[in-house]
Amino acid sequence: MKIRAYEKYLNVVWCFVALWMAYYTFLEVLVVAEMETLIWFSLHSITALLFLIRSKPIQYSSSIVAYFVSLASVHYYLLYDVTISGEWLLGVIGKVLTGVGGMMGIASTISLGKCFGILPIYRGVQTRAMYQFVRHPIYLSYLILDMGILVAHFSFANFLIFLIAVLLFILRIRYEEEVLQTSGKYGEYKRKVKYRLIPRLY
């Protein structure tokens, strides 16, 4: 594919996008120092670095829908309204879930290392660290983080965004694994780690 020739330039572009998103969330931190914005700031900062050091692409998805789903599943969180406040106890529970999901997200993203990517492109298989438990720990961590946001800042609109996020991640997993399964190594990994997102469930 022609995109392969421009990979190093695209990585720089992705890096600047991640840095812009980190800056955007940092501005939110200055206004309202919510845990979720601090976590997203950390995640964007980490991904900015990973874009510059990640492995070269090996195989690309041929589905335009797959690329759209991947991009949508990165930016949906911007739609959450975190200015809504509920009961004190729900706020505490929400913060705990957000913290757990955020820490898992940071650990999973770092674990993926040079195989990191947003689009459905095969860059190698990571089998260690957080990837010993489920095949897509980053998405699991995001959903836990989202649950925290939903509990602490519940509204019907936020609930709909959460449902959309669940659908996007299920679709993203499907499209990613279509590409990853072109590798025999990934087939071996699937036999060892049977669950995609939630242990003993999915």
User: Domain span at residue 184?
Assistant: 58-192
Residue 83 lies in a domain: yes
CA distance 171 to 186: 18
pLDDT tens string 92-126: 999 999 999 999 999 999 999 999 999 999 999 99
b/e burial code for range 28-47 (CB count within 10 A of at least 16 → b)? beeeeebbbbbbbbbbbbbb
Residue 11 lies in a domain: no
Residue 160 lies in a domain: yes
pLDDT for residue 35: 74
Residue 117 lies in a domain: yes
Q: Residues of the chain whose pLDDT is less than 70?
A: 1-5, 33
Residue 49 lies in a domain: no
Neighbouring C-beta atoms of residue 184, cutoff 10 Å: 9
- Number of domains the chain is built from: 1
Residue 44 lies in a domain: no
Residue 120 lies in a domain: yes
pLDDT for residue 27: 87
Residue 39 lies in a domain: no
pLDDT for residue 124: 92
